[in-house]
Structure 1
Amino acid sequence: MSKLQIKPGQSVVVLGKPDDVPVEIEATGEPASADAVLAFVTTSGDLLGADTQAALAAARRDALAWVAYPKGGKLGTDLNRDTLAAVLSEHGVRPVRQIAIDDTWSALRFRPSD
C-alpha cells in the first residue's frame, strides 16, 4: 500500500490486523528488526499492548512505524488522532503523517521526538 510508504523489498510486520481490513501487505520480518511495522488498535486500552509497543520501538529507531485505529464513531472506539498522538507522544515519539486506510480505519505514522 503506497500510502504507507512501504517500498518493495522492505521487511514488514503487521500486528493485530482484523480480517476485514483491506491491507494487502505480506508480513516478512520480525518486529525488532523490520523496516516497517503496522499495528492495529481498537481502543485506548490497546495502546499499551505488545503490538503498540513493537510499533513504538520501530518509531524510536526511525523505521516506518504506523498505528492504525478506527475513525471516530466506528467500532465503538474511544480513540481519535489527537488522543492517540497524546498517549504515544509520552513514549518518545511524535506523529508525522496521517492516512485513511479505508472508510473505517485511519493510521498515524510516528517518528522519534528528537
Structure 2
Amino acid sequence: MSTDLVKKLHYKGGKALLLNAPETFAWTIEASAELEQGADFILLFARNAEEVEQWKDKAAAALAPGDSILWLAYPKKSSKMKSDIHRDLLWDTFASHQLRPVSQVSLDETWSALRYRHEDRVKKKST
C-alpha cells in the first residue's frame, strides 16, 4: 500500500487489523489478519452481502473505543468482480454498533471503502 493510500485511510499508527483481505491487495503497514480486541484501525474487505454479515459484528467488537477507525472495503461497480453490495446498501451496516459512515475512498481499481467512526466522534453539521 502506498504512502498516499496510508494517508488517505487516516492511519496514524496503533494496532491495525486487516480482515478478509484478498491476496492481491498490497499492504505495507504492520497489521494482524486475526481478530484482536482494541484495534485502532481496521480495514475489512467484503466481496458480497454474505461476507458483510459474517464479519460486521466481529469487526465492530474488535474496534477500540475512542477515535478508532473502521474501513469497509467493497468491490467497485466498475470492477470485474461480481457483487451484490454497494455504498448505499452499506451505509447503515454498523449503525447498531453506534458507528457512522463519514467518508469514502478508492483503494485501487477494484476496491472502494467506506470509513466509519464512533458516533460521538462525528462532528455535527450546524444548520
TM-score by length of 2: 0.75
Q: 1:7 to 1:102 in 2, by over 3 A?
A: same
Give, in whole Å, the separation in 2 of the partners of 1:91 and 1:34. 15
RMSD: 2.2
Per the alignment, residue 23 of structure 1 pairs with 27
Query: Is residue 82 from structure 1 mapped to residue 88 from structure 2 by the alignment?
Result: yes
Check conservation: 2:20, 2:45, Cα contact below 8 A. Answer: yes
**Which residues in structure 2 correspond to 1:30-69 (within 5 Å)?**
31-49=36-54, 51-57=55-61, 58=63, 62-69=67-74
How many residues align? The count is 112
Q: Which protein, 1 or 2, shows the higher relative CO under an 8 Å CA cutoff with sep ≥ 6?
A: 1
Write the deviation string for residues 35-93 of structure 1: whole angstroms up to 9, x where unpaired: 111110000111121x3323323276541111111011531111111101133334432
Per the alignment, residue 124 of structure 2 pairs with none
Check conservation: 1:70, 1:77, Cα contact below 8 A. Answer: yes
Q: Amino acid of the residue matched to residue 101 of structure 2?
A: P
Give the % identical residues: 35
Check conservation: 1:97, 1:108, Cα contact below 8 A. Answer: yes
Once the two structures are TM-superposed, the CA of residue 99 in structure 1 deviates from its matched residue by 0.6
SS in structure 1 at match of 2:92? helix
TM-score by length of 1: 0.82
For residue 103 of structure 1, the aligned residue among 79, 99, 109 is: 109
For the pair shown, the structure with the greater C-alpha radius of gyration is 2
Once the two structures are TM-superposed, the CA of residue 7 in structure 1 deviates from its matched residue by 1.6
